[in-house]
Amino acid sequence: VTTLGIIGGGQLGRMLALAAAPLGIECVAVEPAEKAPAAIAADVIRATYGDRGALEHLARRCDVVTVELEHVPVDALGWLAERVPVRPSPNVVAIAQDRLLEKQALRAAGIPTAAWAEALEAFPEGTVVKRRFGGYDGRGQVMVPPGGTVAAVLDGDCISEAVVPFERELSIVAARDLDGAVVTYPVVENRHADGILRATRAPAPRLDSRTQAQADGFARRLMSAWDYVGVIAVELFQLVDGSLLANEVAPRVHNSGHWTIEGTDTSQFEQHVRAVCSLPLGSAEPWGVAAMVNLIGAIPDAAAVLAVPGAHLHLYGKEPWPGRKVGHVTVVAAEETELDERLQCLKLC
Ligand code: ATP
Ligand code: MG
- Residue closest by Cα to atom 27 of ligand 1: 163
CB 66, CB 85: distance < 8 Å: no
List of residues 6+ apart from 304 with CB closer than 8 A: none
For residue 138, how far is its CA from the centre of ligand 1 (angstroms)? 6
Given a cut of 70, whether residue 151 has pLDDT beyond it is: yes
Query: What are 84-112's pLDDT values in tens digits?
Result: 999 999 999 999 999 999 999 999 999 99
pLDDT in tens, 33-81: 999 999 999 999 999 999 999 999 999 999 999 999 999 999 999 999 9
Taking the CA of residue 126 as reference, the ligand 1 atom at the shortest distance is 28
pLDDT value at residue 194: 87
Pick from 123, 141, 192 the residue to mutate for probing ligand 1's pocket: most ligand atoms within 8 Å of its CB.
141
Per the prediction, the chain carries an average pLDDT of 96
Under the banding of pLDDT at 50, 70 and 90, the label for residue 321 is very high
Using alpha carbons, select from 286, 138, 309, 120 the residue that is nearest to residue 212. Answer: 286
Band of residue 349 on the pLDDT scale cut at 50, 70, 90:
low
> How deeply is 344 buried, as exposed, middle or buried, from its count of CB atoms within 10 A (0-12, 13-18, 19+)?
exposed
CA 222 to chain centre: 15
Whole-number Å distance, alpha carbon 68 to ligand 1 midpoint, is 19
Residue 111: the pLDDT is 98
pLDDT (average), residues 121-149: 93
Nearest CA to ligand 1 atom 3: 137
Query: What is the 3 state secondary structure string of 294-311?
Result: EEECCCCCHHHHHCCCCE
Any idea which ligand is nearest the CA of 70?
1
Using the mean position of ligand 1's atoms as its centre, give its distance from the Cα of residue 345 in Å.
30
pLDDT-derived band at 347, boundaries 50, 70, 90:
confident
Cα(169) to centroid of ligand 2, in Å? 10
pLDDT band of 1, cuts 50, 70, 90: confident
Is the pLDDT assigned to residue 136 strictly greater than 90? no
Give the global pTM. Answer: 0.97
User: Of all atoms in ligand 1, which is nearest to the CA of residue 196?
Assistant: 3
The pLDDT of residue 344 is 95
Pocket of ligand 1 (CB under 6 A): 114, 128, 135-139, 141, 161, 163-164, 169, 192, 195, 197, 235, 247-248
Category of 339 on φ-ψ map: left (φ > 0), alpha (ψ -120 to 50) or beta = alpha
Nearest residue (CA) to ligand 1, atom 21: 195
Confidence of residue 304 (pLDDT cuts 50, 70, 90): very high
- Which of the listed residues 130, 234, 247 should we mutate to test ligand 1's pocket, taking the one with most ligand atoms within 8 A of CB? 247
User: What digits encode the pLDDT tens for the residues 205-232?
Assistant: 999 999 999 999 999 999 999 999 999 9
* Residue 314: strand pairing partners: 328
The ligand 1 atom at the shortest distance from the C-alpha of residue 130 is 11
What is the pLDDT, as a whole number, of residue 137?
A: 85
